[in-house]
Amino acid sequence: MADLELCSRPVFIHSLWRCASTYFMEKFVQEPGVVGFTEPFNEHLRLIDQKMADEDDQKRREELNHPNQEQSYYGPYRDLIVPGDIESPGIRHFDIRYPLNYWFDPKDRGQLRYLRSLIDHAGDRFQSQPVLGFVRSLGRVELLRNLGGYHIVLLREPFDAFWSSYTQLRDKTNAYFAVQYVMLAALCRDVPALDALALKYHLPKLKIKGPFYTYGRACNLFREQYADNLELLREAFCLVYLLSYGAALPHADLVVSVDRLSRDEAYRKRISNLIAENTGRVLDFNDCRCPQYDEPEARAAFEETYRAEQCALEESRQARWMAGGRLLDSLLA
């Protein structure tokens, strides 16, 4: 494959940890001829209008001293915004059910048409290589492979990934990241392990459909009722982590341990070479930093839950777990 072909090949970044996905996205969009679609399953894409896009672009240019408007968060989506009233703005083809409802759903449900419109837009509008950075796609990597491209799965040590979201809740009263895993248990009732968790904690059945406010109401409900239940937050995260990576790993072109990337120079070089060979982009990861949390009691409690959930999933012989779950231990070693 010629370099020109490589440098137009779509790149998909899949992660459960936003900082890792953002870090890789920033590396790619610093390259000439790359346009980055940050979190294409962000629920706010159902709400955004031109005014929001303008305000976000201005804010990010001021805060980040970034002169390139097209590389701002909403910049690449700007031309895809459908004008309308408060009930019907948003990005063309985007559905409010994409962020959470279809996390573990193998059916298309319009997702491929929506993402293909982003990929086509990158070529038609920007004449650029599209890079899509997700934090909600791990359960559907197999489906998204129908779009072609190069799929990178980012892995982080599970306790540190969990504690990162939990400290957002504990220290900054931001329950957004920790609570979404509980919401998944309420939404994904066709996944037996998540359904069992929902029944154990008497979680209500959710419906997120149509306008943005249905998502907002669900978030507020779960924040109010479950954000102070550390045991539930921990169990929900462990299950989502195990099920998501179990589903994603067999379908990844490249799996990257962000922990190892931050501390192993030879590993950084190898990953950089592999990405260059498959995307045409030479990325420098020497500034990669992945914090580890010194919380021995919390870590011990988490690992006990994590291993218990891992054993339960193995014993249940759920196909989507058995296909790739055992790879986790070797990749996290």
Secondary element (H or E) of residue 190:
none
DSSP at 30: T
Q: Contact, 97 vs 215, CB < 8 A?
A: no
Dist. CA 4–CA 109, nearest whole Å: 33
Average pLDDT in the 145-166 region?
Answer: 95
pLDDT mean over 286-311:
94
DSSP state for residue 44 in the 8-state scheme = G
Dump pLDDT digits (tens) for 9-49.
999 999 999 999 999 999 999 999 999 999 999 999 998 88
pLDDT in tens, 232-241: 999 999 999 9
Place of tokens 């924040």: 223
Which tokens belong to 101? 């409802």
CA proximity to 119, closest of 150, 84, 97, 153: 150
Give me the phi and psi of 67, to 5 degrees please: -75, -15
**Strand arrangement of the beta sheet that strand 129-134 belongs to:** 34-38, 129-134, 11-14, 150-155, 254-257
Identity at 189, one-letter amino acid code: R
146 against 66, higher pLDDT? 146
- pLDDT for residue 199 is more than 60: yes
